[in-house]
C-alpha cells in the first residue's frame, strides 16, 4: 500500500541547532505510529514540519502525493502561496498539548469555525456534523457549554472533534495528555483508541507507553534529532536492540 505521508531527508535548524537530521519516515493510510523519545529529541518539531507550522531547511514532506509547501514543475520546485499552503494544511489535523479553544465561543461554535470559515461549507450541515463528532467523543451534552466550563480532558476531546471536523486525511497528536491531570488522561486516550480502531491514520508523540503497546502498529524512537530505531511495539518496548532505546525504556517503564 502506498504511503500517505512521507518525509525524506528532512532537515530543520533553529539557528545553528540542528533539530532534525536526515529524517526518513512514512506512514500508510490507516496506520497508527507512536513516536517516543526524550524531551528535546525533535518529536514535536517533526509533527509541526509535517503540518507546515515550521519551515523545512532540507529534504521534503509529502502528504497524499503532494509535496508540502511546494509544487513540482519538471525538476524544479516552486514555493506555494499562503493560500495554497493553507489548503494543504487542511489535509492534516493536529491536536496540541494545550487545547487552544476560543474561550468566548461555545463548544459547537469552536468546532464549526474551521469548516464554515475556512472550507466555506454550509453552517447547518457543519453543525450537524459537529454534534455527531461530539457524540463520538462523549460530549454530546456539552455543545452549548463554553471551554471554561469544561475539564481539561473534556477540552482536549473538543479539540480532537474540532480537528476531525475538517475531514483530514491524517491526525497528528503532540503529547495530547501531557497537560492533563492524571485522572483525566484515560478519557482522552479512550477517544484516540476509538479513532485508531476505526481506521484513522495517526501519528502520536506520547510518553504513554501503555497506549503505544495497545494501539500502535509501529513505534519510532527519536533522539537528538534522529530516528534511532523503529519497529513493532513488542520489538521497541520489550526487546529493543539499540542501547540508547534500551536505557530509555528501562527508565520510564
CA 87 from chain center: how many Å?
Answer: 17
What residue ranges do the domains of the chain occupy? 3-252
What pLDDT was estimated at residue 73? Answer: 82
Q: What is the CATH architecture assignment of 3-252?
A: 3-Layer(aba) Sandwich (3.40)
Residue 1 — very low, low, confident or very high, per pLDDT cuts 50/70/90?
Answer: low
pLDDT at 205 over 90: yes
In sign, the C-alpha dihedral spanning 171, 174, 179, 180 is: positive
> Whole-angstrom Cα distance, residue 241 to residue 186?
30
Of residues 235, 245, 243, 226, the one with CA closest to residue 24: 226
Percent of the chain with pLDDT over 90: 84
The 10s digit of each residue's pLDDT in 116-147 is 999 999 999 999 999 999 999 999 999 999 99
What pLDDT was estimated at residue 29? Answer: 96
Question: What's the whole-model pTM score?
Answer: 0.94
Residue 206 — very low, low, confident or very high, per pLDDT cuts 50/70/90?
Answer: very high
Of residues 45, 35, 61, the one with CA closest to residue 202: 35
Q: Are 241 and 219 spatial neighbours (Cβ–Cβ below 8 Å)?
A: no
Amino acid at each position: 500500500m502506498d504511503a500517505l505521508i512521507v518525509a525524506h531527508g528532512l532537515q530543520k535548524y533553529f539557528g545553528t541547532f540542528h533539530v532534525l537530521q536526515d529524517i526518513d519516515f512514512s506512514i500508510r493510510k490507516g496506520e497508527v505510529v507512536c513516536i517516543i523519545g526524550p524531551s528535546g529529541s525533535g518529536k514535536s518539531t517533526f509533527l509541526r514540519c509535517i503540518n507546515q507550522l515550521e519551515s523545512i531547511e532540507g529534504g521534503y514532506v509529502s502528504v497524499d502525493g503532494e509535496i508540502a509547501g511546494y509544487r513540482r514543475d519538471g525538476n524544479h520546485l516552486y514555493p506555494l502561496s499562503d493560500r495554497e499552503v493553507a489548503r494543504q494544511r487542511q489535509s492534516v489535523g493536529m491536536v496540541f498539548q494545550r487545547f487552544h479553544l476560543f474561550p468566548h465561543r461555545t463548544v459547537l461554535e469552536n468546532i464549526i469555525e474551521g469548516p464554515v470559515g475556512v472550507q466555506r461549507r454550509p453552517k447547518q450541515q457543519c453543525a450537524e456534523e459537529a454534534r455527531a463528532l461530539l457524540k463520538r467523543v462523549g460530549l454530546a451534552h456539552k455543545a452549548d457549554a463554553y471551554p471554561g466550563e469544561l475539564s481539561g480532558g473534556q477540552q482536549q476531546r473538543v479539540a480532537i472533534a474540532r480537528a476531525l471536523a475538517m475531514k483530514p486525511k491524517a491526525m497528528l497528536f503532540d503529547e495530547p495528555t501531557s497537560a492533563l491531570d492524571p485522572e483525566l488522561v484515560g478519557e482522552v486516550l479512550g477517544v484516540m483508541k476509538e479513532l485508531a480502531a476505526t481506521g484513522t491514520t495517526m501519528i502520536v508523540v506520547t510518553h504513554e507507553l501503555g497506549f503505544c503497546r495497545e494501539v500502535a502498529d509501529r513505534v519510532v524512537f527519536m533522539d537528538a534529532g534522529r530516528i534511532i530505531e523503529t519497529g513493532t511495539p513488542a520489538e521497541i518496548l520489550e526487546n529493543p536492540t539499540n542501547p540508547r532505546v534500551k536505557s530509555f525504556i528501562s527508565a520510564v517503564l
